[in-house]
């Protein structure tokens, strides 16, 4: 019997939510067969099993969160005569974190079982290299003889220490709130302490603090009222409230935005712009080639890319450890996209090297992939500048939050007809509000205002683009 634990998902991910099982108890599985779909903080992916056999147990149901290193599925490898698993010489399955209870190699490939080395579909395999951890690992030597290596002797019976938590995120939350994870009874597999256990301990502590006496004055007042008979009050029914756990992409975005507010001294500038020229340009481009349409977001992105050539400080980040401002020679453009899984910021790499139509096509395709949940984690990280068309939600303006560790984000509100002075007359014109939130450490208001004014001028008079292309 072999337990396959949730493997290291990469990208700093420490847990995943089960979306759907691809197999049931009693099914026969083969090496590298996808057995479950999980949703991480970055994307939905399928997890392949590194060995074959008959499924004997599923450790969790849809909607449950599994920590990296916790058992995912149990396989009876002897049931199908698959004791040797995938017998390619030199291939081993990487060990998973926190799998001390399993007593063997990682990913459930213990004893005489060799896996394929696959971790996640789309994430690559172990390439035959065993992870250097404190557990045990088994591999095949060059002559085909199985060998076993142990980094340290096993502790004597009764003295074995169990690590109660494997997630660095859970450890950090506990440390910030003064919670000793060793004192908690974990609700995960084998007593594993999960994030919900730490949050429950924090809530219990806060509740106890709120119910404690507020001071001597309150005690004295209570003593003075003790002699006065009190009328019994009816007990109030507890207030019911829905609790929705922060998980997946929403949890990641919450952490990133919170960090942005904590670390970045941001400032915001904004300006109204007559969008007549922008709309006319879009209509002309789409009329000339309807098969390759150009969106308002694509034109806004093009204006920003040209502006970053003039004001490169906004395309960078702050290296706090070395006290340096970093400016990039490329633009990996992030853009805000609302999806069924929450707000995401997909990234279009080397956007500054694309034509306007290429950029429009890439933005459209990436948006569709983000909403379908098929974007790989690599497409959700590494941005250097972000644009946001929040006007699609019918709002005029917004003080956007910078996508940490970037240093600036441009936003555009809805385009609506308003009174506008043209020459000496007041006429109705389509007007939009542009905003720029920027990190005040990288530039002052003069540079930030200059950048936003350039973008606004392009919106009003797109012919200005010809001077920079």
Catalytic residues: 440, 444
Q: What single string gives the DSSP state of each residue in 173-212?
A: HHHHTT--GGGS---SGGG---HHHHHHHHHHHHHHHHHS
Cβ neighbours of 90 (radius 10 Å) = 12
Task: Annotate 398-443 with three-state secondary structure.
Answer: CCCCCCCCCCEEEEECCCEEEEEEECCEEEEEEEEEEEEEEECCCC
Would you say how long the chain is, in residues? 469
E strands in 168-313: 266-274
**Structural tokens at position 192:** 């594993």
| H or E element that contains 76 | strand 71-76
Are 346 and 337 spatial neighbours (Cβ–Cβ below 8 Å)? yes
Question: 25-36 burial by CB neighbour count: b if 16+ within 10 A, else e?
Answer: eeeebebbbbbb
Are 251 and 341 spatial neighbours (Cβ–Cβ below 8 Å)? no
| H or E element that contains 317 | strand 316-319
Q: What single string gives the DSSP state of each residue in 22-46?
A: S--TT-EE-TT-EEEEEE-SS-EEE
Is the dihedral angle over the CA atoms 456, 459, 464, 466 positive or is it negative?
positive
CA distances from 134 to 99, 152, 162 (A): 10, 7, 13
């Amino acid at each position: 019997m072999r337990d396959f634990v949730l493997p290291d998902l990469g990208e700093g991910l420490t847990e995943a939510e089960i979306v759907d099982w691809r197999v049931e108890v009693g099914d026969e599985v083969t090496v590298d067969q996808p057995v479950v779909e999980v949703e991480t903080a970055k994307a939905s992916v399928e997890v392949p099993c590194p060995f074959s056999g008959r499924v004997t147990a599923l450790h969790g149901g849809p909607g449950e969160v599994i920590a990296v290193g916790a058992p995912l599925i149990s396989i009876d490898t002897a049931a199908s005569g698959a004791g040797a698993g995938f017998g390619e010489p030199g291939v081993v399955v990487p060990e998973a974190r926190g799998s001390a209870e399993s007593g063997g190699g990682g990913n459930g490939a213990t004893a005489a079982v060799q896996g394929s080395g696959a971790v996640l579909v789309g994430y690559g395999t172990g390439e035959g290299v065993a992870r250097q951890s404190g557990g045990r690992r088994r591999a095949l030597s060059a002559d085909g003889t199985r060998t076993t290596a142990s980094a340290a002797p096993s502790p004597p019976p009764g003295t074995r220490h169990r690590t109660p938590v494997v997630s660095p995120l859970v450890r950090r939350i506990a440390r910030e709130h003064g919670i000793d994870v060793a004192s908690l009874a974990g609700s995960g597999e084998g007593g594993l302490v999960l994030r919900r256990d730490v949050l429950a301990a924090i809530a219990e502590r806060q509740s106890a603090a709120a119910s404690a006496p507020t001071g001597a004055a309150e005690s004295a007042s209570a003593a003075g009222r003790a002699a006065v008979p009190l009328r019994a009050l009816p007990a109030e029914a507890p207030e019911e409230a829905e609790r929705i756990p922060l998980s997946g992409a929403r949890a990641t975005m919450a952490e990133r935005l919170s960090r942005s507010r904590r670390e970045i001294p941001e400032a915001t500038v904004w300006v109204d712009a007559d969008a007549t020229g922008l709309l006319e340009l879009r209509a002309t481009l789409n009329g000339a080639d309807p098969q390759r349409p150009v969106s308002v977001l694509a034109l806004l992105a093009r204006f920003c890319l040209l502006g970053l050539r003039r004001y490169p400080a906004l395309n960078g980040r702050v290296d706090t450890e070395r006290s340096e401002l970093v400016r990039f020679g490329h633009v990996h453009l992030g853009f805000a996209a609302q999806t069924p899984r929450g707000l995401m910021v997909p990234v279009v790499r080397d956007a500054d090297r694309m034509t306007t139509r290429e950029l429009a096509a890439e933005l459209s395709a990436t948006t569709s992939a983000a909403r379908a949940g098929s974007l790989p984690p690599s497409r959700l990280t590494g941005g250097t500048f972000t644009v946001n068309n929040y006007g699609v939600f019918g709002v005029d303006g917004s003080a956007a939050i910078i996508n940490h560790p970037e240093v600036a984000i441009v936003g555009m509100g809805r385009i609506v007809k308003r009174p506008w002075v043209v020459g000496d007359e007041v006429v109705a014109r389509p007007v939009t509000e542009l905003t720029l939130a920027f990190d005040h450490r990288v530039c002052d208001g003069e540079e930030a205002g200059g950048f936003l004014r350039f973008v606004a001028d392009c919106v009003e008079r797109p012919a200005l683009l010809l001077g920079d292309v």
